[in-house]
Amino acid sequence: MADKAPLFPLTDFQRETFVSTVWKKGEELYRDLPWRHIPDPYEVLVSEVMLQQTQVSRVLRFWPEFLRRFPTIDALAATSTGAVLESWQGLGYNRRALALKRCAEQCSAEYGGTLPRSYEELVSLPGIGPATAAGVRAFAFGEPGVYLETNVRTVLIYEFFPDQEKVSDKVLADILQQTCPEQKVTDWYYALLDYGAHLKATVGNLNRQSKTYARQSAFEGSRRQKRAFLLRQVLDDPGQTADELLRALNWEEASCKRPEVPEGEMQGILADLVKEGFFTCKEGRYYS
């Protein structure tokens, strides 16, 4: 697959050994997940977006219901932002839902309600980065590419850099370019994912050795927590004023033995949520 000289050139023995190990582990550790080996690229995309920073066990609960409510790209595009965010509650990282909705709107308007197949077109869509685009291409279309996410990264670090810190994603992507097959791409990446999930459960999170690793800040008491609370409030009871939302937020903070939120901070959070498209404000009242 690679046209340029590799950054981390593998010998034939290294490549053959690694490929053999991945296929063997993939067969031993295969997980029969409902979004695997399905023909619908949209359903694959929804699973890929949900699985970002979210445990498989939680996605298993949310993925079928989300698709029941929004079975096609056009259906997702046509629904309200509030309905999408409501269906996303419990998955966290609500920006993903907003981006998925915007992606559906663009696909409905520009691609006839389908997902484009090319990498360049996919990464131009809202919420689709390099890994998600490569995942959709691998799992929906069987196209080879560099699908580098946490489980895959875990395998590569374990096999090639077990004692090294600050491992570059460029080097890991280079190894994937040298090893990803032209055929059976879908099964290859399932094998990497399942092997990586097993390693994370048995040897720990080797992603900490990655140059891109950043520890997630605590959620409770954070601005993210306040944003999530306010979003939930507006979804549950649309039309509240800023004063009503501030009272509800401060009641929540007091119940958790945290200090009151200053009005200025609250106004900043609401302004951000409006700017990002989570809320609309009409005559001083907030709606999703």
Active site residues: 48
Token duo for residue 252? 């929540």
Q: Which residue has the tokens 């907003």?
A: 98
Distance CA 68, CA 206 (A): 36
Q: At what angle do helices 223-236 and 263-276 cross, to 10 degrees?
A: 70
If we measure between CA atoms, which residue out of 66, 7, 28, 15 comes closest to residue 202?
28
Pairing of strands 280-282, 240-241: unpaired
- The enclosing H or E element of 227 equals helix 223-236
Q: List Cβ neighbours of 218 (8 Å cut-off, separation of 6 or more).
A: none
Distance CA 7, CA 271 (A): 45
Distance CA 135, CA 259 (A): 43
If we measure between CA atoms, which residue out of 90, 26, 93, 83 comes closest to residue 62?
90
Q: How far apart are the first and last CA of the chain?
A: 45
Distance CA 69, CA 71 (A): 6
Distance CA 121, CA 131 (A): 14
CA angle 125, 130, 135 (to 5 degrees): 95
